[in-house]
């Protein structure tokens, strides 16, 4: 490997080919091999900078970056948390509330960051707890300024619509610095299982890294399907950043169980990729599906479910009965395919052609 030399502002390695800079991987080798004991904080590492916010090594900074302005000229500012670890390492990016009515993710970020101090962190964390400013304040999924879904706007445009400009600022200032990226979502207010999505095609050079990131998150169910253009989980891998889209249930307000699963998933990622100490809790086997099949009603009426979310369904298994206003069964709904009962509408009534549920299929295991 070579012989290390440590100076106050420089660390170099003497090898058979001459001198070169000592890296964190070299330090790991020397520590693990017992050749030399080196405190990683003796090696100088860089500031963490997003916009005008600067976090020195070993510090946390809470602040805002401007991404636009309101009609009265008031600045639109997004909250940013920067944690620059005491020790050098990689950079982790996490964001929430890309859709304004999906709140579980911000609770996950709050809970995770409350457990992490710069003194214990190897590397850097950039967290954006609230991405879609306008949609959040109007309690709706889409940005009311341009009626766009934020997660169809990455990597954004400097001279684009409101959503595209926000995506542009985040992508250029923060996301591009990352080595790993999580974009926290949920099924809006509609009931859905807790799952995580890989949104690049299986032929993509980073597909394996994204699928591994999804496995490490460890929530138990994975959708492995190329996503729509403009999703962060598709745009960030295009510049070499493994990215996933955890979907933490679906509800009005908080879903405590989904939030706790999300916290565990983020900690799994931070532990597995050596940002913090600890042993990740990853299931031995997780379900992977490649698509959703919608289950539609022929008759309108009230839906009485016979199957539960997460249930593995066999083709033709009864899912629900559709009853009229007098309680008479008008139609019995059966599963059109084998798969997992993945999601259902928030209200238990449908018109003809309405969605009764979605089935994730075909079932594979990871």
Residue whose structure tokens are 């916009």: 51
The reply to whether 127 and 232 lie within a common domain is: yes
The reply to whether 155 and 172 lie within a common domain is: yes
Return the CATH number at 336: 2.40.50.100
- Per residue in 105-153, pLDDT tens? 999 999 999 999 999 999 999 999 999 999 999 999 999 999 999 999 9
- Quick one: pLDDT at residue 292? 98
The reply to whether 183 and 55 lie within a common domain is: yes
Return the CATH number at 170: 3.40.630.10
Q: Is the pLDDT of residue 24 over 90?
A: no
Return the minimum-mean-pLDDT range out of 35-44, 220-229, 323-332.
Answer: 35-44
- Quick one: pLDDT at residue 4? 52
Is there a contact between 247 and 186 (Cβ–Cβ < 8 Å)?
A: yes
Q: Is the pLDDT of residue 51 over 90?
A: yes
The reply to whether 187 and 225 lie within a common domain is: yes
- Per residue in 204-218, pLDDT tens? 999 999 999 999 999
- Quick one: pLDDT at residue 252? 83
Residue 97: how many CA atoms within 13 Å on its side-chain side?
Answer: 28
Q: Is the pLDDT of residue 12 over 80?
A: no
pLDDT band for position 44 (cuts 50, 70, 90): low
Domains of the chain: total: 3
Domain boundary among 287, 318, 346: 287
User: How far is residue 130's CA from residue 101's CA, in Å, rounded to a whole number?
Assistant: 11
Q: Is 73 left (phi over 0), alpha (psi -120 to 50) or beta?
A: left
C-alpha separations of 244 from 44, 142, 182, 212, 265 in Å: 31, 21, 5, 10, 12
Is there a contact between 167 and 233 (Cβ–Cβ < 8 Å)?
A: no
- Quick one: pLDDT at residue 253? 84
User: How far is residue 19's CA from residue 2's CA, in Å, rounded to a whole number?
Assistant: 9
The reply to whether 137 and 34 lie within a common domain is: no
- Quick one: pLDDT at residue 15? 47
Return the minimum-mean-pLDDT range out of 28-32, 47-51, 86-90, 202-206.
Answer: 28-32
- Quick one: pLDDT at residue 9? 41
pLDDT, mean over the chain: 91
Domain holding 298, by residue range, is 290-365
pLDDT band for position 73 (cuts 50, 70, 90): very high
- Quick one: pLDDT at residue 22? 52
The reply to whether 156 and 36 lie within a common domain is: no
The reply to whether 200 and 312 lie within a common domain is: no
Q: Which phi and psi angles does 26 have, rounded to 5°? A: -60, -45
The reply to whether 142 and 250 lie within a common domain is: yes
């Amino acid at each position: 490997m070579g012989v290390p030399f440590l100076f106050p502002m420089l660390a170099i390695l003497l090898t058979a080919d001459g001198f070169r800079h000592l890296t964190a991987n070299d330090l790991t080798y020397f520590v693990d091999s017992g050749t030399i004991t080196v405190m990683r904080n003796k090696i100088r590492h860089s500031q963490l900078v997003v916009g005008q916010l600067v976090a020195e090594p070993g510090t946390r900074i809470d602040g805002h970056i401007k991404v636009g302005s309101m009609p009265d000229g008031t600045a639109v500012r997004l909250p940013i948390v920067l944690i620059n670890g005491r020790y050098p390492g990689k950079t982790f990016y996490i964001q929430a509330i890309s859709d304004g009515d999906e709140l579980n993710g911000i609770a996950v970020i709050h809970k995770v960051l409350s457990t992490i101090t710069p003194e214990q962190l190897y590397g850097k964390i950039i967290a954006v707890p609230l991405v879609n400013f306008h949609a959040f304040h109007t309690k709706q999924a889409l940005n009311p300024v341009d009626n766009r879904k934020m997660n169809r706007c990455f990597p954004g445009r400097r001279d684009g619509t409101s959503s595209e400009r926000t995506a542009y600022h985040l992508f250029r200032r923060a996301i591009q610095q990352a080595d790993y990226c999580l974009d926290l979502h949920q099924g809006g207010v509609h009931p859905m299982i807790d799952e995580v999505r890989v949104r690049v095609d299986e032929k993509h050079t980073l597909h394996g890294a994204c699928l591994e990131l999804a496995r490490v998150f460890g929530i138990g169910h994975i959708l492995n399907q190329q996503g729509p253009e403009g999703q962060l989980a598709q745009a960030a891998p295009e510049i070499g950043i493994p990215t996933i889209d955890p979907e933490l249930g679906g509800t009005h307000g908080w879903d405590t169980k989904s939030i706790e699963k999300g916290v565990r998933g983020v900690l799994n990622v931070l532990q597995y990729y050596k940002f913090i100490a600890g042993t990740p809790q990853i299931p031995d086997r997780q379900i992977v599906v490649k698509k959703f099949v919608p289950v539609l009603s022929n008759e309108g009426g009230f839906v009485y479910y016979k199957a539960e979310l997460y249930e593995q369904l066999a083709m033709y298994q009864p899912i629900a009965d559709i009853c009229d206003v007098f309680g008479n069964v008008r139609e019995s709904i059966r599963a059109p395919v084998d798969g997992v009962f993945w999601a259902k509408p928030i209200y238990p009534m449908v018109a003809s052609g309405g969605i009764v549920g979605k089935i994730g299929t075909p079932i594979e295991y990871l």
